[in-house]
């Protein structure tokens, strides 16, 4: 067994997917690895008539009949057993040696509970302008994508969960990773940043559709969660910049404010009913 394979026994990939009935998609995700050498927990959100099964010893599959990415992430953490875990979606392609990069980062930063990494887009460029930092704070975690988040399972399990009101498939379909990392910081966890690329992801992601009702509705709720009344100024700035960048027509500005105000109103209702805590 290679050193990388031995190391990979301590790393577990927590993969969220939907409506799969074959594990063939894993080959595209891991072009430099044998699937049999990688520890993976697959959460497949599906129906009872379309179940996924695994023929690999190191690939554990759990078919879930819940919806929502945060529900999937929480179930993956519940079922995980690896010392170090990496969040994953089914549309990423891992770089050669990504396991060694992750495990070496935790070896170097022994006090780290969570470490985030870099990713490239499908044109070979860095996915975003990454900040020159060593540790994350409440401001810097806003730029983190979920698929570059790795963590010590013992640090996270039973301490931090994904908020099921946020993320794809939830009421507010944004920022599940941001809320997760903010909650981790609030719980006293230490989050490092390692400026090394571990994977490739399509240039466009769901969080980049800045003018959509879905994003404006969700982002307004998110702003209110963390900024209270200042949320109205933040969403006004967002709508203005979206218009200025040509991603929004003038005639859409007023309707978008209506969407934003509804997002805040609906979030306030969840707080009143005890389903959210600011």
197: CATH: 3.90.550.10
pLDDT digits (tens, 9 = 90+) for 55-99: 898 999 999 999 999 999 999 999 999 999 999 999 999 999 999
- Which pLDDT score is estimated for 268? 97
Evaluate whether residue 278 is within a structural domain.
Answer: no
Cα–Cα distance, 31 to 95 (Å, whole number): 8
Q: Does 227 have pLDDT greater than 80?
A: yes
pLDDT digits (tens, 9 = 90+) for 34-57: 898 899 999 999 999 999 999 898
What range does the domain containing 219 cover?
Answer: 209-272
pLDDT digits (tens, 9 = 90+) for 118-138: 999 989 999 999 999 999 999
* Domain termination residue (choose one: 173, 207, 241): 207
Cα–Cα distance, 52 to 157 (Å, whole number): 25
For the segment 198-220, the average pLDDT, to the nearest whole number, is: 84
Same structural domain, 131 and 267 = no
Q: Does 2 have pLDDT greater than 50?
A: no
Per DSSP, the residues of 54-92 read: ---TTEEEEEE---SHHHHHHHHHHH---SEEEEEETTE
Same structural domain, 98 and 20 = yes
Task: Tell me the CA end-to-end span of the chain in Å, nearest whole number.
Answer: 49
Task: Give the total number of structural domains in the chain.
Answer: 2
For the segment 235-248, the average pLDDT, to the nearest whole number, is: 94
Q: How confident is the model at residue 4 (pLDDT cuts 50, 70, 90)?
A: very low
* Domain termination residue (choose one: 207, 239, 263): 207
Torsional sign, CA 46, 47, 50, 54 = positive
Name 239's Cβ contacts closer than 8 Å, sequence gap at least 6: 216, 248, 253, 256, 257, 260
Evaluate whether residue 233 is within a structural domain.
Answer: yes
Q: Tell me how far apart the 2 most distant CA atoms of the chain are, in Å.
A: 63
SS3 state of residue 40: strand
Report pTM.
Answer: 0.92
Q: Read off the DSSP letter of residue 114.
A: E
- Which pLDDT score is estimated for 204? 67
Angle (deg, nearest 10), helices 176-186 and 69-79:
50
Same structural domain, 223 and 165 = no
Evaluate whether residue 277 is within a structural domain.
Answer: no
Count of C-beta atoms within a 10 Å radius of residue 196: 15
- Which pLDDT score is estimated for 209? 77
Per DSSP, the residues of 193-258 read: EEEEEEEEE-S--GGG-TTSHHHHHHHHHHHHHHHGGGHHHHHHHHHHHHHHTTSS-GGGHHHHHH
For residue 167, what are the CA distances in angstroms to 110, 136, 221, 252? 30, 21, 12, 25
């Amino acid at each position: 067994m290679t050193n990388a394979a031995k190391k990979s026994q301590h790393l577990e990939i927590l993969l969220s997917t939907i409506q799969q009935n074959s594990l063939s998609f894993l080959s595209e995700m891991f072009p430099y690895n044998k699937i049999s050498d990688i520890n993976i927990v697959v959460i497949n959100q599906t129906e009872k008539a379309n179940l996924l099964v695994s023929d690999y010893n190191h690939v554990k599959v759990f078919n879930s009949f819940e919806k929502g990415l945060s529900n999937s992430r929480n179930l993956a953490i519940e079922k995980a057993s690896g010392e170090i875990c990496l969040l994953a979606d089914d549309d990423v392609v891992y770089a050669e040696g990504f396991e060694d990069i992750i495990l070496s980062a935790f070896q170097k930063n022994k006090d780290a509970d969570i470490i985030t990494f870099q990713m490239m887009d499908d044109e070979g460029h860095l996915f975003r302008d990454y900040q020159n930092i060593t540790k994350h704070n409440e401001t810097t975690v806003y730029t983190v994508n979920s698929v570059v988040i790795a963590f010590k399972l013992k640090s996270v399990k039973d301490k931090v969960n994904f908020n099921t009101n946020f993320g794809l498939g939830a009421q507010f379909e944004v920022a599940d990773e941001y809320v997760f990392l903010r909650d981790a910081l609030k719980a006293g966890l230490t989050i490092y940043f390692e400026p090394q690329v571990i994977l490739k992801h399509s240039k466009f992601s769901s969080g980049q559709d800045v003018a959509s009702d879905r994003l404006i509705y969700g982002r307004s709720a998110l702003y209110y969660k963390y900024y209270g009344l200042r949320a109205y100024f933040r969403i006004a700035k967002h709508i203005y910049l979206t218009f200025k960048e040509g991603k929004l027509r003038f005639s859409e500005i007023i309707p978008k404010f209506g969407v934003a105000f509804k997002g805040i109103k609906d979030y306030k209702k969840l707080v009143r009913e005890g389903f959210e805590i600011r």
